[in-house]
């Protein structure tokens, strides 16, 4: 009796299980179809963040390293100090050269003032000499007239020989004095030319030294900058990676000592197939699942789509003109903004893998 009752169970149980499997598969397929109509998904996505390399700007031996691997740093915090001794000496030398040029300019300005004073004195002496020459010219002319008059009187025997000789002697004296005054004028003119040349020379020297002073000032500023470059500050706040510098190491300009990752701003770059972009738009909501935190529910939204596929940014992009063409589905980078990133500040890391689902339909 029990065997006869069990036979129907054994007969219909496989059919029942098969029916349940078919129904479950159909339900799962229907749900997957509905989901795929509403969402576009990809697992080719990573967390991205701003990074800033800390580079040496001057060469030298590292004197101090103030941070450890993966440490948090603040903007403008001193991270590394390069031995500044030689740069301090260069700054002192540049400042000394600047002060020397400044002193030379003051000396040249004093020489210019002296030359200008000499010119004023020479000009005054010339005016005096010209006045004297004018007076002497009048006296010479009068003496010549007196001599002519006395000569006529002597010819008429109205004047003695001695009187004529006295008049002639006075005329000679007045003539020589007039010539002397002319020589004084010529000497004053020469002195004036020398004084003007001295002024021009002093002015040219001042202009040259003023131009040199600008060069010296630039050298001082450059030397001061190089002294400042011996202290490497954090350009942004964040967390450093593995440091590539130790005390005593010799570094070169441009050498990367470590990189700082900003811990305040993160986003996702997801690479979608070109066939998934038809309904994708900026502003659509996004569900983000992190492989590192599968239970963490992170929301975001699409903020931009790349203007080119990822292959166009490759170091050696494919050249289809060679004839070796194989059609491949291209991927387009899509930038996704994380909503309320401050909530996940302690969890998010640049480079973490994520699974992305963009809601393309309501």
Q: What is the tens place of the pLDDT at every residue in 33-57?
A: 777 788 899 999 999 988 899 999 9
Co-location of 213 and 336 in the same domain = no
Q: Is residue 9 domain-resident? A: no
Q: Are residues 89 and 219 in the same domain?
A: yes
Tell me the C-alpha distance between 362 and 360, whole Å: 7
Same domain, 203 and 92: yes
Give the C-alpha separation, 138 to 118, whole Å. 30
Select from 227, 257, 274 the last residue of a domain: 227
- Does 215 map to a domain? yes
Tell me the residue range of the domain where 166 lies. 85-227
Q: Taking Cα atoms as reference points, which of 79, 60, 81 lies closest to residue 71?
A: 79
- Asked whether residue 208 falls in the same domain as residue 179, the answer is yes
- The answer to the question of residue 250 being in a domain is yes
Last residue of a domain, one of 201, 227, 253: 227
Judging by DSSP bridges, how do beta strands 298-305 and 331-338 pair with one another? antiparallel
pLDDT value of residue 307: 87
| Pairing of β 256-273 and β 231-233 | unpaired
Looking at the structure of the chain, the number of domains it has is 2
**Cα angle at 75 between 71 and 81, to 5 degrees?**
70
CATH code of the domain containing 188:
1.10.287
Query: Do 320 and 219 belong to one domain?
Result: no
Identify the sign of the CA torsion 74, 75, 79, 85: negative
Q: Both 56 and 180 in a single domain?
A: no
Asked if residue 21 is part of any domain, the answer here is no
**Considering the chain, what is the average pLDDT of its residues?**
85
| pTM reported for the whole predicted model | 0.65
Q: What is the pLDDT of residues 75-123, one digit of tens each?
A: 999 999 999 999 999 999 999 999 999 999 998 888 888 888 888 888 8
Give the Cα separation of 327 and 255 in Å (integer): 42
What CATH number does residue 322 fall under? 2.40.30.170
Residue 1 has a pLDDT of 44
Q: How many angstroms separate the Cα of 358 from the Cα of each of 65, 97, 266, 351?
A: 45, 66, 18, 20
Q: How confident is the model at residue 2 (pLDDT cuts 50, 70, 90)?
A: very low
């Amino acid at each position: 009796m029990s065997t006869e009752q069990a036979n129907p169970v054994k007969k219909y149980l496989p059919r029942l299980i098969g029916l349940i499997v078919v129904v479950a598969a159909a339900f799962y397929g229907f749900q997957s179809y509905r989901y795929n109509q509403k969402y576009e998904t990809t697992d080719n996505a990573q967390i991205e963040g701003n990074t800033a390399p800390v580079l040496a700007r001057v060469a030298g031996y590292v004197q101090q390293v103030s941070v450890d691997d993966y440490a948090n740093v603040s903007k403008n915090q001193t991270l590394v100090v390069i031995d500044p001794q030689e740069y301090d000496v260069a700054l002192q030398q540049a400042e000394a050269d600047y002060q020397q040029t400044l002193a030379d300019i003051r000396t040249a300005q004093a020489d210019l003032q002296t030359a200008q004073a000499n010119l004023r004195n020479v000009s005054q002496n010339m005016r005096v000499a010209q006045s004297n020459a004018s007076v002497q010219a009048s006296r010479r002319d009068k003496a010549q007239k007196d001599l002519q008059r006395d000569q006529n009187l002597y010819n008429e025997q109205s004047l003695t020989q001695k009187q004529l000789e006295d008049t002639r002697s006075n005329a000679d004296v007045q003539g020589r004095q007039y010539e002397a005054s002319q020589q004084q004028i010529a000497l004053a003119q020469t002195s004036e030319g020398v004084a003007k040349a001295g002024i021009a020379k002093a002015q040219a020297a001042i202009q040259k030294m003023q131009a040199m002073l600008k060069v010296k000032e630039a050298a001082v500023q450059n030397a001061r900058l190089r002294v400042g470059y011996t202290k490497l500050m954090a350009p942004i706040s964040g967390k450093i990676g593995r440091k590539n510098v130790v005390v005593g190491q010799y570094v070169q300009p441009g050498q990367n000592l470590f990189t700082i990752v900003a811990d305040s701003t993160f986003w996702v770059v997801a690479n979608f197939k070109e066939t998934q972009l038809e309904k994708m738009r900026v502003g659509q909501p996004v569900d983000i699942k992190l492989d590192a935190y599968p239970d963490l529910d992170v929301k975001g939204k699409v903020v931009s789509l790349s203007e080119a596929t990822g292959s166009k940014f490759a170091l050696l992009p494919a050249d289809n003109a060679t004839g070796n063409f194989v059609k491949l589905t291209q991927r387009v980078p899509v930038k996704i903004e994380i909503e309320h990133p401050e909530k996940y500040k302690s969890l998010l890391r640049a480079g973490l893998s994520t699974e992305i689902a963009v809601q393309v339909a309501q």
